């Protein structure tokens, strides 16, 4: 299914919103509860699934709903459609301070983007949102995002959200080492793994933790400056229980490895 062609504007600095303009009968899909406002003529409907496969069976929809539960998302997605005969607008707000990044999936290798499990905000109708398993053991345990990631596929516009400032880097047969938890998304041909951050002294006293995320190959990667787990850690009295690897399957156990 070809994605709908939507127009958009992103407003704000530290806390952003994306305003999407829909032609008659155009639709945008979004995470439940992310809508900020919608103009008269926009109708919304909560559905089990992203609508990218209109002929999908009930079993398929249930499987997709189950995968969304594993990703920590709501079972349902909201579909916003312009039912008027003129252009109408609907806007979506980021769930916490940070940056909304517009990604044209038609310009991404394989029309596929791998993102952290809470990064998806909204997308043009026809975009598929599914589960992606991180098959590398080290990356799953210490990568900051665990084994469960999101796969966004399509040929239209998708919008992802992350904490702080987001930068886009193009790797050309290169290696990039990143603070764990700061990887927002990457193209699927890149190799994502975890490596030790340095010598024993550096790991214990350097303040960067034992592990760093490593991306190798040729492709694009998006990096966030302030993961929500790190923000929670700083705001919690006495440092809190949230560790640098709080997004991983280790949970609080990751704090045992911090310097």
Predicted confidence (pLDDT) per residue in 177-193, tens digit: 988 788 899 999 999 88
* Mean pLDDT calculated for residue range 65-85: 74
Question: Is it the case that residue 216 has pLDDT exceeding 80?
Answer: yes
Question: Is it the case that residue 241 has pLDDT exceeding 80?
Answer: no
Least confident of 8-12, 73-77, 220-224: 73-77
Residue of higher predicted confidence among 69 and 44: 44
* Beta strands in the chain, from DSSP E residues, in sequence order: 7-11, 17-22, 27-31, 35-38, 42-47, 77-82, 88-93, 98-104, 112-115, 120-124, 128-133, 148-153, 157-163, 166-179, 183-186, 191-196, 211-224
Question: Is it the case that residue 96 has pLDDT exceeding 80?
Answer: yes
The rounded Cα 237 to chain-centroid distance in angstroms is 28
Backbone angles phi, psi at 216, to 5 degrees: -130, 145
* Mean pLDDT calculated for residue range 206-232: 80
User: pLDDT-derived band of residue 122, with 50, 70 and 90 as boundaries?
Assistant: very high
Question: Is it the case that residue 135 has pLDDT exceeding 60?
Answer: no
Question: Is it the case that residue 246 has pLDDT exceeding 50?
Answer: no
pLDDT in tens, 7-40: 999 998 878 999 999 999 999 999 888 999 999 9
* Mean pLDDT calculated for residue range 104-124: 91
pLDDT given at position 181: 82
Question: Is it the case that residue 199 has pLDDT exceeding 70?
Answer: no
CB atoms within 10 A of CB 136: 14
pLDDT given at position 121: 93
């Amino acid at each position: 299914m070809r994605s709908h062609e939507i127009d958009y504007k992103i407003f704000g600095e530290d806390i952003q919103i994306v305003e999407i303009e829909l032609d008659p009968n155009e639709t945008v899909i979004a995470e439940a509860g992310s809508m900020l406002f919608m103009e008269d003529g926009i109708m919304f409907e909560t559905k089990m699934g992203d609508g990218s496969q209109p002929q999908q069976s009930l079993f398929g929809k249930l499987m997709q709903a189950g995968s969304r539960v594993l990703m920590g998302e709501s079972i349902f997605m909201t579909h916003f459609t312009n039912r008027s005969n003129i252009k109408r607008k609907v806007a979506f707000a980021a769930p916490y301070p940070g940056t909304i990044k517009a990604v044209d999936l038609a310009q991404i290798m394989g029309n596929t983007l791998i993102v952290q499990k809470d990064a998806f905000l909204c997308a043009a109708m026809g975009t598929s949102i599914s589960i992606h398993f991180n098959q590398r053991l080290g990356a799953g345990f210490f990568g900051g995002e665990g084994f469960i990631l999101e796969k966004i596929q399509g040929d239209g516009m998708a919008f992802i959200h992350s904490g702080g400032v987001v930068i886009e880097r193009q790797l050309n047969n290169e290696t990039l080492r990143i603070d764990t938890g700061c990887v927002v998304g990457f193209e699927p041909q890149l190799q994502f793994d975890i490596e030790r951050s340095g010598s024993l002294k550096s790991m214990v006293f350097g303040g960067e933790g034992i592990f760093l995320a490593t991306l190798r190959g040729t492709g694009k990667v998006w990096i966030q400056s302030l993961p929500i787990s790190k923000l929670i850690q700083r705001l919690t009295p006495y440092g809190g229980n949230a560790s640098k690897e709080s997004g991983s399957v280790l949970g609080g156990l990751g704090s045992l490895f911090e310097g």
